[in-house]
Amino acid sequence: MAADARDRVSGPMSAAPVPVPLADAAGARDTPRPLVAHGCWYPSVDPTGEWVAFICDRTGVPQLWTGAVNGPEIHLLDADPDPVTEVAWSPDGRWIAYTVAPGGGEHTRVLCVRPDGTGRRIVAGADAGSSAYLGCWTRDGSAVAVTVAEPPPPAGLALRREPAVPDPGTAFADLPPGWAERDGPATLLGGAGHGEVGPGLGEDVRPDGGSGPDGGAPDRLTAYLVDPDGLGSPVLVAAESGAATLRVCDVGEDGRFALVRRGPRGRREAVVVRTADLAARSVLRVGDGDPWIGRFSGDGRTLWLRSDHERQFAALLAASLDEDGGRVGLSVVAEREGSDLELLAFAEDGRTAALAWNVRGASELETLSLATAARPREVPLPHEVVTRITRAGPGGGMVLSLSGSQRRPGVWWASPGALSARTPWSSRDEDAVPPGRPPVRPVPLRPVARDGLHLGGWYYRAPGRDAGRPAPCVIHLHGGPEEQERPVFDPLYHELLGRGLDVFAPDVRGSSGWGRSFVDADLGTGRFAAIDDVADCAAHVVLDGLADPTRLAVMGRSYGGYLTMASLVWHPELFRTGVAVCGMSDLATFFAGTEPWIAESAAHKYGHPVRDRELLRALSPMSRVDELRVPLLAVHGEHDTNVPPGESEQMVRAARERGLPAEMLTLRDEGHEFRRADNRRLFRRTAADWMQRHLGR
């Protein structure tokens, strides 16, 4: 299909990233003694299939390591303390690219390093205030794709003028105090048009007809192919105004086309970009979740795609492409009733695919020949959830990142026709918890909401409790809202269970894994029903005789933190206490303080900060804080720019002003995610102490 008006970029582009050499930081070449019961995840294998790069937190911080696939030898490749979040070994074996979060915050940068730890350099995100993350490598390994979020303009330039067509009765004077006061620009969002994938002519405007927050360029993400050696100039692949999300997922064998994922949460798209002029040749809806959505066939005439296009659940689709990249056909290659295709990976020759299906929260893995009509081959799994799949060299094997209720995340090797084997340097199952405190295997529950919608979730029973005795129970709410509760080992849950507290972790409406309609069921005014879902889940475990109705608590992180605060003020007599972690207390101040690209994406989920101002006010816990009746603990990372710490601070302050016990724990050197072992331990113990104090055993 031809590019339309929203598939073109206007205005000046930011400077392309240039590799910045750093001092070698190869780190220890021996194997340090683990400081914590460690996890290993996000594997990426070298071309021989003999070595794997991965993330491991055995020193207390997620860092870059390499290890032998079939042996005990491992090396700490970069000893810097900045947490690592993504890893990709180049197809030619010369470089390992990885994303780090300096200072533990939310702004990230992309580095490359030689497999022996030398030649370390920043390839994107070196500029102050910018952020970058990884895309794919080109097939020959000559360049790595990176996405760069441009630094925002000075805060004093924010909100200089209103949108071109404001809604009747709206004016910036009516917005909450401090709307334009933030570390970075406040963001006014546009309409349905959200992105552009190539440069073109035209005025510099936002999708709603307005300009950027300073009257100039709109917020923008740009994606480039960068040569880590610095010998070739960066090549622009795509850009997206409005800055919702942008990732280069594949570049065809001949380099003529790139597969780009763009768009806000809940409305993501796969775009085939013609690299010669950056025109969008085909656009197809894809689901949220893992960003690695597909791959071109060797001849470039087929695009294999994980997509929920016109479907409730994501499946493997084959899009037939013409010589110009336009879509001429679409067929379903693999699907499962009631289950999402969650992860998709390909063998080196592109003829075999590995498919991980999300079956009510657990994973089922199979391999499928793309060249024949053979039935898929099931791959047995030793644990419940696959979190990443990567090809393992020319032999046809796979390297998997697995997690489960009985183990910490680990890396496993699956050779063709054989059972999966744990790599020797991944933690053993018996190392997951201290001796004498075995992990708890949860049981699935299906509560029914008051409007008849079936929900999901997992219930963890504290060890040693009589089956018929109702227990003090913590309702724990995941983030997203599109995340899903999975049966994986969570040290926080284990800490609570060790204090004699049960845990119920539900999927309220808006969660993934239960179909597109379920994900969209909390949009707009549907969020009021999501808040009621929390109360209905509490009622379910009480009526089932699992939980003591006089000793219930609610807790959650990110969106779950918002739901925690909302539940406490919408259902003030239900819970004895709450712990809100990195949650939004006022959706107006959240939009004013968050990152521009997060605001753009969040508008689809929660509402537009100007047009839907009254809805956001009605949905904000701060608007009902007078209803708060119970003690509150808030936890936040000091460098969180996704949900700024002020969201917790204002809720705690309001609770104290009303005479309620309220405390705030600020974790140093952390952002929206808590990545350092000492901080995670402090968080778990503080939260468990709080719950035990207010619920008892």
Cα distance from N-terminal residue to C-terminal residue, the chain: 62
3-state secondary structure of 600: helix
pLDDT digits (tens, 9 = 90+) for 223-240: 999 999 999 899 999 988
pLDDT digits (tens, 9 = 90+) for 304-361: 999 999 999 999 999 999 999 999 999 999 999 999 999 999 987 778 899 999 999 9
pLDDT digits (tens, 9 = 90+) for 381-397: 989 999 999 987 676 78
* pLDDT at 288 (0 to 100): 87
For residues 630-645, average pLDDT? 95
pLDDT digits (tens, 9 = 90+) for 430-488: 776 666 677 889 999 999 999 999 999 999 999 888 778 899 999 999 998 999 999 99
pLDDT digits (tens, 9 = 90+) for 542-595: 999 999 999 999 999 999 999 999 999 999 999 999 999 999 999 999 999 998
What is the residue-averaged pLDDT of the chain?
A: 85
H and E: helices and strands count for the chain: 9, 37
Flag whether pLDDT at 166 surpasses 50: no
In which band, very low, low, confident or very high, does the pLDDT at 190 lie, cut at 50, 70 and 90? Answer: very low
CA distance 360 to 343: 15
In which band, very low, low, confident or very high, does the pLDDT at 242 lie, cut at 50, 70 and 90? Answer: low
For residues 516-530, average pLDDT? 93
Instruction: Identify the bridge partners of residue 344 per DSSP, sorted by sequence position.
Output: 355
CA distance 359 to 514: 9
Per DSSP, the residues of 422-485 read E-TTSPPGGGSS-TT-PPPPPEE---B-TTS-B-EEEEEPPTT--TTS-EEEEEEE-STTT---
3-state secondary structure of 256: coil
For residues 196-202, average pLDDT? 39
Flag whether pLDDT at 165 surpasses 60: no
> Residue 220: which region, alpha, beta or left (left: phi > 0; alpha: psi -120 to 50)?
beta
Is 462 in contact with 438 (CB distance < 8 Å)? Answer: no
CA distance 404 to 421: 15
Is 602 in contact with 594 (CB distance < 8 Å)? Answer: yes
Instruction: Read off the amino acid at residue 335.
Output: E
Is 473 in contact with 506 (CB distance < 8 Å)? Answer: no
Lowest mean pLDDT among 9-18, 81-90, 170-179: 170-179
Flag whether pLDDT at 220 surpasses 90: no
pLDDT digits (tens, 9 = 90+) for 263-282: 887 788 999 999 999 999 99
CA distance 687 to 262: 37
Report the share of the chain in percent with pLDDT over 70. 84
Flag whether pLDDT at 194 surpasses 50: no
Per DSSP, the residues of 279-301 read EEEEEEE--SS-S--EEE-TTSS
* pLDDT at 206 (0 to 100): 33
pLDDT digits (tens, 9 = 90+) for 75-102: 999 999 899 999 999 999 999 999 999 8
Q: Which residues make Cβ contacts (< 8 Å) with residue 468, sequence separation at least 6?
A: 545
Comparing 169 with 52, the larger pLDDT belongs to 52
For residues 675-685, average pLDDT? 92
